[in-house]
A = this chain, B = another copy of it.
Amino acid sequence: MRLFLVDDHPVVRAGLVALLSGEHDIDVVGEAPGGEEALRAITVRTPDVVLMDLQLGDGIDGVEATRRIRELPSPPQVLVLTTYESDADIMRAVDAGATGYLLKACPPEELFQGIRAAARGETVLSAKVATRMMRRMRDPGTALSAREVEILELLASGAGNREIARRLFITEATVKTHLVHVYSKLGVDTRTAAVTAAVERRLIRLP
Contact = CB atoms under 8 A, between A and B. Distances in A.
The 9 closest A-B pairs by CB, nearest first: A15-B15, A158-B193, A18-B18, A14-B15, A11-B15, A9-B104, A14-B18, A14-B19, A192-B192
Contacts of A10: 19, 107-108
Interface string A152-167: 0001111010000000
A59 B44 CA distance: 44
A16 B156 CA distance: 35
Given A14-B16, A15-B16, A191-B191, 19 more contacts: A8-B105, A9-B104, A10-B108, A11-B16, A11-B111, A12-B12, A13-B15, A15-B15, A17-B18, A18-B18, A156-B192, A157-B196, A158-B189, A158-B194, A158-B196, A191-B192, A192-B192, A195-B196, A200-B206
Interface residues of A, number: 39
13 contacts: A9-B104, A10-B19, A11-B16, A11-B104, A12-B12, A15-B18, A57-B105, A157-B193, A158-B196, A158-B197, A191-B192, A192-B195, A200-B206
Identical chains bound together, number: 2
A207 interface: yes
Q: Is the interface of A mostly helix, strand, loop or mixed?
A: helix
A181 to B, nearest CB: 17
A11 B8 contact: no
Interface of A: 8-19, 55, 57, 83, 104-105, 107-108, 111, 155-158, 160, 188-197, 199-200, 206-207
